[in-house]
């Protein structure tokens, strides 16, 4: 079955960097655009970034533009989110997701990132 598994979360100090990974299985990863979506504790969902199926196109929310970079390695069925210059307001559960507005939507279980000194 389709699976998306995030990893790499943890506690990091403000201003530092962290890289999240999302490993996919059960579908042809290289044919799907993939998203990162986050949810701060007790808050709603926030779309973060999107990368096209072949990695040629990236889009970002204004709140992370210039600090976060989305990338993928289709040979490893893996999506990444490089997060630099982290701020307290980046504290959230980060989900990777496929097709968030379509009928083939699938989400991982999320990984928690805590930015704190």
Partner 1 sequence: QSALTQPASVSGSPGQSITISCTGTSNDVGGYKYVSWYQQHPGKAPKLMIYDVSYRPSGVSNRFSGSKSGNTASLTISGLHAEDEADYYCSSYTGSSAPYVFGTGTKVTVL
66 binds partner 1 (CB under 8 A): no
CB 14 within 8 A of CB 86: yes
85 binds partner 1 (CB under 8 A): no
Interatomic CA distance for residues 21 and 79, integer angstroms? 6
Name the one range near partner 1 by CB under 8 A: 7-15, 19-27, 53-61, 75-83. 53-61
Of 49 and 83, which has the nearer Cβ to partner 1? 49
Taking alpha carbons only, the member of 66, 78, 67 closest to residue 34 is 78
69 binds partner 1 (CB under 8 A): no
Taking alpha carbons only, the member of 100, 47, 103, 40 closest to residue 70 is 47
Of 44 and 56, which has the nearer Cβ to partner 1? 44
Q: What is the closest distance, in whole angstroms, from the C-beta atom of residue 60 to partner 1 in the complex?
A: 7
């Amino acid at each position: 079955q389709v699976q998306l598994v995030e990893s790499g979360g943890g506690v990091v100090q403000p201003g530092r960097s962290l890289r999240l990974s999302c490993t996919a299985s059960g579908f042809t990863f290289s044919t799907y655009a993939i998203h990162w979506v986050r949810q701060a504790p007790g808050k709603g969902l926030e779309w973060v970034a999107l990368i096209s199926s072949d990695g040629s196109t990236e889009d970002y929310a204004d709140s992370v533009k210039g600090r976060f970079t989305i990338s993928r390695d289709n040979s490893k069925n893996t999506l990444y989110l490089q997060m630099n210059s982290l701020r307290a307001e980046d504290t959230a559960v980060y989900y990777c997701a496929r097709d968030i507005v379509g009928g083939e939507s699938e989400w991982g279980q999320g990984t928690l990132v805590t930015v704190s000194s």
